[in-house]
Structure 1
Amino acid sequence: MTAAQKDLVRAAPSEFLEIDTPRVEDGAAIWRIARDSKVLDLNSSYSYLLWCRDFAATSVVARGAEGEPIAFVTGYIRPERPEALVVWQVAVDQEHRGRGLAGVLLDALTAKVAGSRGVREIETTITPDNTASDRLFTSYAQRHGAQLEREVLFDAGLFPEEAHQPEVLYRISPLSV
């Protein structure tokens, strides 16, 4: 973690130890954090185990005092656009919210993949009612002097659930991490 990232995290040292690559044994904790967010679409617990195995190189976790995951960002490289990192989910455990940890994790992940994988842009989707994610990605773009484009990627009518909102694509580029 860089000095700038440490400045962003407003948590006591005993509450936050490191940013790390997720491991398979973190899958259950990551699933719980996603479930408890009450905002994210919850995937099966099995999918979080697979994510920690197959997409660990494009994901990060923050670990607490006991080494347990307290926050995560999962992502993957788009097969058709290898310069694009798709951020799948971002979540922070309830007791660690409000300290800038999500932004620190997003910065750490993009620094990691920009250097090792040649990623030059971020894509994510956000529903119109998810103001926390909108703020996170808007502030990320501003912090990095990048352009932010928004467009509806998946209209609400495409989802089988009647109450699902549209998913708005946020594309942030160029990355300068």
Structure 2
Amino acid sequence: MTAAQADLPTDLHAQFLEMPEGLRLDTPGVADGASIWRIARDSKVLDLNSSYSYLLWCRDFAATSAVARDADGQVAGFVTGYVRPDRPHTLVVWQLAVDHGHRGRGLAGALVDGLVAKAAAGRELTTLETTITPDNGASERVFTSFARRHGASVERTVLFDAGVFPQDDGGHEPEVLYTIGPLPRV
């Protein structure tokens, strides 16, 4: 058990650790940045950021991010997020990915459930936001399933139209904002 897991309230601790067999949820550390970058790269779906940004993310946003670890302590999946500065009751999920060898076991949904439970500890969360491109059916299923499990509604609006992305970046699909809420109190 890590220090981060030990800091969770007992009732939240049990909920936070509900993972597919052989995996456990944990708070990322800087040493996980390279693995998270690799999983993001290998997903072939996520916008890949610099390796440096993943190191910073693991340092500065570890409290609102989570990793799943296998029995050897290796990162099997991750979810990164942050609380919106102008909306302190809103958790934004920035990226979510599962390593190829761990897909098909419900890990993505467990990561989102665990992150929301973790982020709700000590603060009131009412809303989850994420953006999904129209071609990412897997993410759409994860987040609409999350909303169903938690009895929340889903509102979809285009947050960033394709035209606002740099044209010399090879083009980008629109990013559709999924606003999920109200979230149940944890």
1:24-103 to structure 2, matched below 5 A, reads: 24-103=30-109
When structure 1 is superposed on structure 2, of 61-70 and 108-117 the one drifting more is 108-117
Counterpart for residue 158 of structure 1: 164
Counterpart for residue 106 of structure 1: 112
> Aligned to 2:124, which of 114, 118, 121?
118
Paired amino acid for 1:41? D
What is the count of residue pairs matched by the alignment? 171
- Measured in 2, the distance between the counterparts of 1:125 and 1:40 equals 11
| Runs of 4+ more than 2 Å apart | 1-6
TM-score by length of 2: 0.87
Counterpart for residue 8 of structure 2: none
CA shift in 2, pair 1:140/1:27, >3 Å: same
Paired amino acid for 2:134? P
Counterpart for residue 181 of structure 2: 173
Counterpart for residue 7 of structure 2: none
- Measured in 2, the distance between the counterparts of 1:53 and 1:135 equals 29
CA shift in 2, pair 1:4/1:50, >3 Å: closer
- Measured in 2, the distance between the counterparts of 1:54 and 1:117 equals 18
- Alpha-carbon RMSD: 1.6
Task: Determine if contact 1:77/1:84 at 8 Å carries over to the other structure.
Answer: yes
Q: Secondary structure at the match of 1:29?
A: helix
Paired amino acid for 1:96? H
Paired amino acid for 2:177? L
Deviation at 1:119, TM superposition (A): 1.6
Deviation at 1:34, TM superposition (A): 0.4
Deviation at 1:2, TM superposition (A): 3.7
Residue-by-residue CA offset, 1:67-121 (whole Å, 9 max, x unaligned): 1111000000111101100000000000000100010010011011123222211
Seq. identity, %: 66
- Measured in 1, the distance between the counterparts of 2:63 and 2:36 equals 16
